[in-house]
Amino acid sequence: MRIVLDTSVLVSAVRSRQGASFALVQSIPSLKFEICLSVSLYMEWQDVLTRQQNIPPGRSREEALNFIRYLASQAHLQEIYFNWRPFLRDPSDDLLVELAFAAKCQYIITHNIRDFHGSEQLGISAITPGKFIKLLRGYHEHTQH
Protein backbone atom coordinates (compact mmCIF):
# COMPACT_ATOMS: atom_id res chain seq x y z
CA MET A 1 0.00 0.00 0.00
CA ARG A 2 1.20 3.49 -0.79
CA ILE A 3 1.19 6.34 1.72
CA VAL A 4 2.20 9.98 1.99
CA LEU A 5 4.18 11.12 5.05
CA ASP A 6 3.36 14.61 6.19
CA THR A 7 6.35 16.69 7.25
CA SER A 8 4.93 16.81 10.79
CA VAL A 9 5.62 13.07 11.14
CA LEU A 10 9.24 13.48 10.10
CA VAL A 11 9.73 16.40 12.49
CA SER A 12 8.36 14.29 15.34
CA ALA A 13 10.57 11.37 14.34
CA VAL A 14 13.78 13.43 14.37
CA ARG A 15 12.91 15.23 17.60
CA SER A 16 12.20 12.08 19.60
CA ARG A 17 13.06 8.42 19.37
CA GLN A 18 9.91 7.69 21.37
CA GLY A 19 6.54 7.24 19.80
CA ALA A 20 4.86 6.14 16.64
CA SER A 21 6.47 8.67 14.27
CA PHE A 22 9.97 7.36 14.97
CA ALA A 23 8.78 3.74 14.83
CA LEU A 24 7.13 4.33 11.48
CA VAL A 25 10.11 6.12 9.93
CA GLN A 26 12.48 3.52 11.40
CA SER A 27 10.54 0.79 9.57
CA ILE A 28 11.38 2.24 6.13
CA PRO A 29 11.82 0.39 3.82
CA SER A 30 8.86 -1.83 4.57
CA LEU A 31 7.20 -4.69 2.78
CA LYS A 32 3.85 -3.44 4.13
CA PHE A 33 3.86 0.10 2.71
CA GLU A 34 5.67 2.39 0.30
CA ILE A 35 6.09 6.11 0.86
CA CYS A 36 5.32 8.39 -2.06
CA LEU A 37 7.09 11.62 -2.81
CA SER A 38 6.74 14.54 -5.18
CA VAL A 39 9.29 17.22 -5.92
CA SER A 40 7.28 19.81 -3.97
CA LEU A 41 7.01 17.57 -0.88
CA TYR A 42 10.74 16.81 -1.09
CA MET A 43 11.42 20.56 -1.12
CA GLU A 44 9.16 21.02 1.92
CA TRP A 45 10.93 18.21 3.79
CA GLN A 46 14.27 19.80 2.96
CA ASP A 47 13.15 23.27 4.06
CA VAL A 48 11.62 22.17 7.36
CA LEU A 49 14.02 19.43 8.43
CA THR A 50 17.13 21.55 7.88
CA ARG A 51 15.88 24.33 10.17
CA GLN A 52 18.11 24.58 13.22
CA GLN A 53 15.26 23.81 15.65
CA ASN A 54 14.57 20.52 13.84
CA ILE A 55 18.16 19.28 13.76
CA PRO A 56 18.81 17.06 16.81
CA PRO A 57 21.61 18.12 19.15
CA GLY A 58 24.94 16.80 17.96
CA ARG A 59 23.71 16.44 14.39
CA SER A 60 24.48 18.63 11.40
CA ARG A 61 22.54 20.11 8.52
CA GLU A 62 24.39 17.71 6.21
CA GLU A 63 23.18 14.73 8.27
CA ALA A 64 19.62 16.08 8.02
CA LEU A 65 20.02 16.30 4.24
CA ASN A 66 21.38 12.75 4.14
CA PHE A 67 18.32 11.56 6.07
CA ILE A 68 16.01 13.28 3.57
CA ARG A 69 17.96 11.83 0.65
CA TYR A 70 17.70 8.36 2.17
CA LEU A 71 13.92 8.68 2.51
CA ALA A 72 13.72 9.90 -1.08
CA SER A 73 15.74 6.90 -2.24
CA GLN A 74 13.16 4.61 -0.63
CA ALA A 75 10.15 6.47 -2.01
CA HIS A 76 8.04 6.15 -5.11
CA LEU A 77 8.59 9.42 -6.96
CA GLN A 78 5.25 10.58 -8.33
CA GLU A 79 4.81 13.26 -10.94
CA ILE A 80 1.68 15.35 -10.58
CA TYR A 81 -0.04 16.50 -13.75
CA PHE A 82 -2.99 18.35 -12.24
CA ASN A 83 -3.80 20.61 -9.31
CA TRP A 84 -6.86 20.46 -7.10
CA ARG A 85 -6.08 23.80 -5.49
CA PRO A 86 -7.64 25.24 -3.56
CA PHE A 87 -9.07 22.10 -1.99
CA LEU A 88 -8.18 22.28 1.70
CA ARG A 89 -8.27 25.22 4.10
CA ASP A 90 -4.46 25.46 4.08
CA PRO A 91 -3.15 25.58 0.49
CA SER A 92 0.22 24.19 1.62
CA ASP A 93 -1.55 20.93 2.51
CA ASP A 94 -3.04 20.63 -0.98
CA LEU A 95 0.27 19.33 -2.31
CA LEU A 96 -0.10 16.26 -0.07
CA VAL A 97 -3.63 15.55 -1.30
CA GLU A 98 -2.53 15.99 -4.92
CA LEU A 99 0.37 13.60 -4.36
CA ALA A 100 -1.81 11.03 -2.57
CA PHE A 101 -4.42 11.16 -5.33
CA ALA A 102 -1.90 10.94 -8.18
CA ALA A 103 -0.01 8.05 -6.52
CA LYS A 104 -3.24 6.23 -5.57
CA CYS A 105 -2.44 6.42 -1.87
CA GLN A 106 -5.07 5.42 0.61
CA TYR A 107 -3.52 7.31 3.54
CA ILE A 108 -1.82 10.55 4.45
CA ILE A 109 0.04 9.98 7.71
CA THR A 110 -0.04 13.19 9.74
CA HIS A 111 -0.32 14.71 13.20
CA ASN A 112 -2.68 17.33 11.77
CA ILE A 113 -5.77 15.29 10.93
CA ARG A 114 -8.09 18.32 10.89
CA ASP A 115 -6.00 19.98 8.19
CA PHE A 116 -7.05 17.25 5.76
CA HIS A 117 -10.79 17.37 6.34
CA GLY A 118 -12.35 16.82 2.94
CA SER A 119 -9.65 14.52 1.56
CA GLU A 120 -11.96 11.56 2.15
CA GLN A 121 -14.02 12.84 -0.83
CA LEU A 122 -11.08 11.66 -2.96
CA GLY A 123 -10.78 8.32 -1.15
CA ILE A 124 -7.85 9.47 0.99
CA SER A 125 -7.85 9.10 4.77
CA ALA A 126 -5.68 11.23 7.03
CA ILE A 127 -4.55 9.22 10.07
CA THR A 128 -1.95 9.53 12.79
CA PRO A 129 1.25 7.47 12.81
CA GLY A 130 -0.05 5.50 15.80
CA LYS A 131 -3.31 4.58 14.08
CA PHE A 132 -1.42 3.65 10.92
CA ILE A 133 0.90 1.32 12.85
CA LYS A 134 -2.14 -0.32 14.50
CA LEU A 135 -3.76 -0.63 11.09
CA LEU A 136 -0.64 -2.33 9.73
CA ARG A 137 -0.58 -4.77 12.63
CA GLY A 138 -4.26 -5.58 12.09
CA TYR A 139 -3.73 -5.93 8.36
CA HIS A 140 -0.74 -8.21 8.93
CA GLU A 141 -2.66 -10.38 11.42
CA HIS A 142 -5.63 -10.52 9.04
CA THR A 143 -3.45 -11.71 6.15
CA GLN A 144 -1.83 -14.39 8.33
CA HIS A 145 -5.14 -16.26 8.84
pLDDT digits (tens, 9 = 90+) for 116-125: 988 898 899 9
Mean pLDDT score of the chain: 90
pLDDT number for residue 94: 87
Beta bridge partners of 127: 109
pLDDT number for residue 70: 98
pTM of the model: 0.89
Q: Report the chain's terminal Cα–Cα distance, integer Å.
A: 19
Calpha distance 60→116 (Å, rounded): 32
- At residue 93 the predicted structure's pLDDT band, cuts being 50, 70 and 90, is confident
Cβ atoms within 10 Å of 52's Cβ, excluding its own: 7
Instruction: Calculate mean pLDDT across residues 100-124.
Output: 93
Q: Are 46 and 68 in contact (CB under 8 A)?
A: yes
- At residue 92 the predicted structure's pLDDT band, cuts being 50, 70 and 90, is confident
- DSSP element (H, E) containing 126: strand 125-127
| CATH 3.40.50.720 assigned to 2-144 | no
Give the domain ranges of the chain. Answer: 2-144
- At residue 81 the predicted structure's pLDDT band, cuts being 50, 70 and 90, is confident
